[in-house]
Chains A and B, each alone.
Chain A
Amino acid sequence: MALLEVKGLEVEFPLGRKTLQALHGVDFSLDRGERLGIVGESGAGKSVAAFSILNLISRPGRISEGEVLFDGTDLTRLDDAAMREIRGNKISMIFQDPMMTLNPVLTIGTQMIECLQAHREISKEDARKISIDKLKEVMIPSAENRMESYPHELSGGMRQRVVIAIALLTDPSIIIADEPTTALDVTIQAEIMVLMLALCKNNNVGLILITHDLAVVSQVTERIMVMYAGRVVEQGPTREVIQNPGHPYTRGLIKALPQENIPGARLNQIPGSMPSLDAIPAGCAFNPRCEFVDLECHNAIPPLCGEGEQKIACIHRDRIPRFNLSEKGI
């Protein structure tokens, strides 16, 4: 059985008399040491999906249906005390903006030691040793001195390294990273991605990487899940999905990348934008923006299916022309 199994997850947010549903029956799983990428535009529900694993949906939002099985226990049924044993301990999280995640008035060392002592019976001295080791592991130069630094004394890349070190402190089996490099420069992004990939491989840690950057996902993950308007529209091995996308939305995302277009020509774009939760179109939610839309698409919500490992939620999946990634400007 997979380490993490999410089944039929539904999340809703009551809003006055209405209830907005952010996730509609999302299923996915993650094996030990596996790396999964969740892709989609803002508002696709990728962060909600990841947050609900750790039961971090802020009230009045709630998980209304479905289960999150971690090592056989359903995390949605745990009380707060039991959840704290998992959260930040067995499953850690890395957020987008390291300046918002770190406490600005505490030194790096204090924050790391505090985190360890919250989860383990451990002396301050031992906690300090582990913290320094972890800082070394994420390649922070002169780790001992950095323990005394405050977050503002570090650059963006260094801060994100510290956040990764904190996530690794308790030797978690899964790390959830929500857009970990979006706030960073391209060069630093490459360094952080190399680092995260190496750490996950060496420690056999599972990774759920949430991003809207398909290029990053294609380099780091083994499996990919594309979300649109609270549903999974495509899922499969990263190479297959990237090289040979089956859903018109995935296709559009890949074709919109500047590197996939002829320099100087108009970029392929997906017209329109993600619908808001209270105005999701009937039938396939993507139909107003889809280039292959026809009458059938307005009738029923297409299920996620397919013969091989690559699953696609589109009724026309057999008729959509596939393209080869190596040819530019298709």
Chain B
Amino acid sequence: MGSLHKHVSEGVYQHRHNWFHELPSHIKIASVFSFVLVVVLTPGNFYQAHLSFALIVIGLLIWNQIALSAIRKRLIIEIPFVLFAFFLPIFGTDPRIDFFGLRLSEPGLWAGWNILIKATIGVMMSLILSSSTPQRELLVGLEKLKFPKLLVQIMSFMIRYTVVVTEELKRMAIARESRCFEAKGPKQWSVLARSAGALFIRSYERGERVHMAMLSRGYTGALPLTTVQFSSRRDLINGTLLPLVALSVFLIWSVILN
């Protein structure tokens, strides 16, 4: 449980000065989303295009000085799908080809590659987005992108109270352990579930309390703006740069390959 806080705060924004960091968040979200969309749209066997995308992503990672430890953590999330990607060449459909002395499925190899490269690019782009944008700014960005207001509000509550509630969870774990509790197997599930039940009651009551407090301070439901972001024409151009580069990489390679 000691790693709880770390896990929660690991998506932390890091302050840097470059135009990508300073892009208004709604433009940045749209830009990253469309970049990933172009990558996903590009067929896996245009591997030259995907290698170019990977170079762009590596360039962005270096430019934004993203820590290796953060990259490693994100790659761990991918593991189940990496396993699936490795199974594909073994269990995939015919024809089979010789691959380093193994009889592997050719479509399976391509499909495995397709999943690995796209998922990795997606994960890295999402990391670049979250480490270059404060969480609050992400919400403002979503609101500007016409996300339902209520959904943005729920998200803002979630982001604000995640640390509070997970700290509560940690305290409960300490309380259990100090009473000599050790979770060894399913026999201990009922104790853990009771903690979870207590956590729900506390979260619910906290929600009610917070709501009352907010109402008493004149809460209307809108996300108060503390910083005003102006998006200039320049930001718009900078924002379209990323998907535009991706699109041209895709077009250039499809012309060359045909």
Do A and B share a complex?
no
Using a CB–CB distance below 8 Å, which chain A residues touch chain B?
Answer: none
